[in-house]
């Protein structure tokens, strides 16, 4: 039908759209769930790497702190030994000096207080003390230097180990991040590819359904056009039939009319014939009556005309009076005849043939 368009809200189309959207949503949700799970796994692995690095750092720091503590303990013990050696040297020196100090009064009484033996002994003991003190101090300083170097070495080793731990942590973090990115990227590509496949599938399905609807629409249009043509053809055929029937009926009516006209003409001819016949008979009768009754009356004393008038019906008499009245009208005076008037009355049914014959016979034409 003109003006009609395809209904794109057709349930078959909306079902395809809804099914396609639902399928894409399912795929999107599934892949997003896998991506989220991979993110969670990567974060957990990153946390594990961080925990490992933290543990290794703490363990290494504990080892380094323990080594430094041992070095500090050695330094403390060395300092104690050095102090004890100093004190021991000084104590020994004082003991030896006091030995000579205790006999100083005796030596003084013996005249040896300022002798060379006394002075050399003091110097010798002092030198021994100084040598012992210097040796102890030198040994302690070497030990302190060695301990400091050991602490530096421990710190350097700790820093190197810490750097290795940090490097391993960074490498593992980067590896996990790269693996996570590649995995997520692959999932994203697969998801988008799957969604494209679904869209293509349902687009083709939608187009197929739309094509089917178009075919149905075109078929419906063709069917409607065919039905309209059928109705138009039937209407034209029926009109032709009706026209033929009307023409046939008209011909029948024309034929009946012609037959009626013939019958009417025949009847008119018969009436005219009867009228002329009656008129002729009336004229003949009048002539006979005139020839047989010159000069008077018959045995009964009535004329022949009076006898005929006595045979007229009241209706015939009234009709003849109407003729006489109509004859007086100026418009009918010259054209109206008794025969014409009686024919009209006969056709209208006011008189019959006997009345018409009697009137003509009585009054003449």
pLDDT, position 286 = 60
pLDDT, position 15 = 93
pLDDT, position 83 = 87
pLDDT, position 293 = 43
Model confidence pLDDT, tens digit, residues 74-107 = 888 888 888 888 888 788 878 777 655 544 555 5
pLDDT, position 288 = 58
pLDDT, position 354 = 87
For the chain, residues classed under CATH 1.10.287 are: 11-206
Q: Kindly report the CATH number that applies to the domain delimited by 11-206.
A: 1.10.287
The two three-digit tokens of residue 41, written as one number:
């796994």
- Compute, in degrees rounded to 10, the torsion defined by CA atoms 228, 229, 233, 235: 20
* φ, ψ at 188 (rounded to 5°): -65, -45
Closest alpha carbon to 355 in 310, 323, 317, 329: 317
Residues of the chain with pLDDT under 70: 1-5, 98-119, 262, 265-267, 269-270, 273-274, 277-311, 364-365
Residues in the chain: 365
pLDDT, position 98 = 67
pLDDT, position 300 = 38
Residues 6+ apart with CB under 8 A from 187: 31, 34, 35, 38
pLDDT, position 81 = 85
């Amino acid at each position: 039908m003109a003006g009609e368009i395809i209904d794109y809200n057709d349930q078959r189309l909306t079902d395809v759209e809804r099914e396609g959207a639902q399928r894409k949503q399912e795929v999107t949700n599934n892949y997003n769930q896998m991506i989220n799970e991979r993110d969670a796994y990567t974060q957990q692995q990153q946390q594990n790497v961080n925990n490992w690095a933290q543990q290794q750092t703490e363990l290494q720091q504990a080892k380094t702190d323990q080594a430094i503590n041992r070095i500090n303990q050695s330094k403390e013990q060395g300092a104690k030994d050095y102090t004890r050696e100093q004190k021991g040297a000084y104590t020994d020196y004082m003991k030896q000096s006091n030995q000579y100090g205790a006999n100083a009064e005796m030596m003084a009484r013996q005249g040896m207080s300022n002798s060379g033996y006394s002075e050399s002994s003091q110097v010798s003991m002092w030198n021994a003390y100084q040598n012992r003190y210097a040796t102890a101090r030198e040994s302690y300083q070497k030990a302190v230097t060695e301990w400091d170097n050991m602490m530096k070495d421990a710190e350097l080793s700790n820093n190197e180990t810490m750097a290795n731990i940090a490097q391993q942590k960074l490498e593992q973090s980067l590896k996990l991040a790269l693996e996570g990115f590649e995995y997520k990227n692959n999932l994203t590509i697969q998801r988008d590819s799957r969604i494209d496949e679904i869209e293509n599938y349902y687009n083709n399905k939608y187009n197929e359904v739309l094509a089917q609807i178009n075919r149905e629409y075109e078929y419906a249009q063709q069917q409607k056009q065919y039905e309209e043509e059928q109705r138009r053809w039937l209407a034209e055929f029926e009109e032709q039939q009706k026209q033929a029937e009307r023409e046939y009926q008209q011909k029948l009516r024309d034929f009946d009319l012609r037959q009626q006209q013939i019958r009417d003409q025949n009847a008119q001819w018969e009436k005219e014939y009867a009228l002329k016949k009656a008129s002729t008979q009336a004229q003949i009768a009048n002539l006979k009556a005139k020839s047989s009754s010159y000069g008077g009356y018959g045995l009964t004393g009535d004329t022949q005309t009076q006898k005929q008038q006595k045979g007229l019906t009241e209706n015939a008499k009234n009709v003849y009076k109407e003729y006489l009245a109509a004859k007086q009208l100026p418009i009918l005076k010259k054209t109206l005849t008794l025969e014409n008037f009686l024919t009209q009355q006969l056709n209208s049914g006011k008189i019959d043939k006997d009345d018409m014959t009697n009137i003509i016979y009585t009054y003449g034409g």
